[in-house]
Structure 1
């Protein structure tokens, strides 16, 4: 299965992280999920269809160094330079050392690529943590870090958690922006003092293990929220769950002292998506799908996602089955089915 994934990575590494009008390249992330979830046989044909829409990776223009990297941050025109920089770093250092240095540098810009930067990094780390340390897997980590750096974007009004609410309660208390219309930048531009107060309302983590527990709860809450509120923006609201889950899955590759600040950043990204895209009132539960009544509903949900073929459906199902394994809550699987229904499956 590693060979199938590595071949997919190799095919995709000539393509850029975005295509068309700033649309995201989900190819490596979806391929990783399909392989890890037992559908490796579908990857070559899925990729044959998907790769035709992608643009080439922009050519490098100027070498990035430890002395000048700050001037290249948030400059998407230099994404090719960033790929070269991180490939060099991963050749020169053990792979765990590179995210240990760069995660805290990139964390303030967690919204990069509508959170796809951190998500792609996490999927690459999951491959490496599973034992595939091939050149293709290392290059995939370089591409993910490069995208995050080149699109580095912070959450407006960010403040660290300082309140008393748990993850579920804090997510439910998020105030919506005055007008949920327009592109991401327009909506994020409306995030003001009320939103900052919502961010501060989350209880801070007492220690790294508490940060992991709190982030785990946030992933559960956000996955469930998609079931009732996902129609507000079927694509973008996927990431209110997959982005914090990406951060959670990256924890085993990161120093423990980075876990608490990672909770704060992931919380801010998820909360910002709720504030700007989730409708104030959810759909009634009786109008929504239910989890399959089968012996192993996780396998059924993953199979439906693989058959659907939409990259967002595949990635959300991956998150949902992780939450289900921890909680046994069938509604998280129903949320995965709703993604498929909303996105044409």
Structure 2
């Protein structure tokens, strides 16, 4: 089992979460390994990672249809029904058509599973752009199904004047005044954002741009910088503030143009919510080691066996190539070091 399709098949009986609500990163990290040039290592990595995963025990309770889908959003009990619904959708239409139809419907619930509904969908889309095998179609069904079942909205304030550029809006993000739900399960902590009245006005002050790709680059660069210099104690959260918008970039070429900017604003809202929930402020970053090249970082990430190390290195490398900035490699080096030492 050295290829991605074999890995997807091997992981097909694993559930979308394990432990205390931690998302299953197997398919995403396996795909990222291939992108990093380590296809031959996929089989051994997946075999090891599968040991920590739970069986997929989600049953069927309600048939989801085009008439009753909306009230089923956010109901994790219906995960099996959501996945089966998207299997039927993908069986009867081109995957690009299904994606274009359901992406805007799910977009308001962008925070699903701490962003992992979006990330898993993004990796599935990149797989399908390379090849449309049955296990890749199944992975898209699972990504969309997980997103729908864990659907989670964040506060909005549409009447806010859009006067700030991304850097200004990012700087305006408030730190939450409540420690309620603080921890590693992002979906629980992000519920607390609703208690912060200044959050939505800060995010919705973002001025619309005509270049979604450029806006995403600014966002991922801001997320990498915040990982390094914000006054926080949870670097894991800030890893997701970058990998989630980076996953949106994987999807944009397969979406109608009119969905590009709404996708960017949803990504900004999510990453800003991570920043608000886990800490803003300022601290000086003192690197433990110089920034490493991405080939070295990929080798080190693989050696840790940590899926977050693999995914973060791949996302930082991709974002750095699109809009070069040393912040990406500095952040990736620091995160890999943390994964090696368990200091996260």
Kept in 2: contact 1:161–1:202 (CA 8 A)? no
Kept in 1: contact 2:156–2:200 (CA 8 A)? yes
Aligned pair count? Answer: 335
Alignment partner of 1:73 is 2:73: yes
Any gaps of 5 or more consecutive residues in structure 2?
none
State the distance in 2 between where 1:167 and 1:89 align. Answer: 36
Q: Name the SS for the 1:182 alignment partner.
A: coil
State the distance in 1 between where 2:164 and 2:289 align. Answer: 30
State the distance in 2 between where 1:84 and 1:161 align. Answer: 39
Kept in 1: contact 2:174–2:280 (CA 8 A)? no
For residue 24 of structure 1, what is the aligned residue in structure 2?
23
Kept in 2: contact 1:181–1:187 (CA 8 A)? no
Shift of 1:180: 4.1
For residue 95 of structure 1, what is the aligned residue in structure 2?
95
Kept in 2: contact 1:291–1:331 (CA 8 A)? no
Change (3 A) 1:20 1:285: closer
Change (3 A) 1:203 1:35: same
State the distance in 1 between where 2:104 and 2:324 align. Answer: 33
Q: Deviations over 1:239-279 (max 9, x none)?
A: 11111111122101111110111111111000000001134
Shift of 1:231: 5.4
Kept in 2: contact 1:156–1:188 (CA 8 A)? no
For residue 223 of structure 1, what is the aligned residue in structure 2?
224
Q: Name the SS for the 2:114 alignment partner.
A: coil
Any gaps of 5 or more consecutive residues in structure 1?
none
Out of 174, 189, 192, the position equivalent to 2:192 is: 189
Q: Name the SS for the 2:286 alignment partner.
A: helix
Structure 1-normalised TM-score? 0.91
For residue 327 of structure 2, what is the aligned residue in structure 1?
331
Change (3 A) 1:158 1:38: farther
Higher alpha-carbon deviation: 223-232 or 19-28: 223-232
Change (3 A) 1:186 1:248: closer
State the distance in 1 between where 2:111 and 2:127 align. Answer: 22
State the distance in 1 between where 2:327 and 2:190 align. Answer: 29
For residue 85 of structure 1, what is the aligned residue in structure 2?
85
Change (3 A) 1:263 1:60: same
Kept in 2: contact 1:27–1:50 (CA 8 A)? yes
Shift of 1:331: 2.5
Q: Name the SS for the 1:286 alignment partner.
A: coil
Alignment partner of 1:245 is 2:243: no
Kept in 2: contact 1:117–1:145 (CA 8 A)? yes
Kept in 2: contact 1:174–1:274 (CA 8 A)? yes
* CA RMSD, 1 decimal: 2.0
Change (3 A) 1:33 1:262: same
For residue 178 of structure 1, what is the aligned residue in structure 2?
177
Q: Deviations over 1:12-56 (max 9, x none)?
A: 121111112211100000000001211112111111111112122
Kept in 1: contact 2:217–2:323 (CA 8 A)? no
State the distance in 2 between where 1:333 and 1:339 align. Answer: 10
Structure 2-normalised TM-score? 0.91
Q: Deviations over 1:207-250 (max 9, x none)?
A: 3xx22321221112212221223852122221111111111221
State the distance in 1 between where 2:212 and 2:159 align. Answer: 13
Shift of 1:127: 0.8
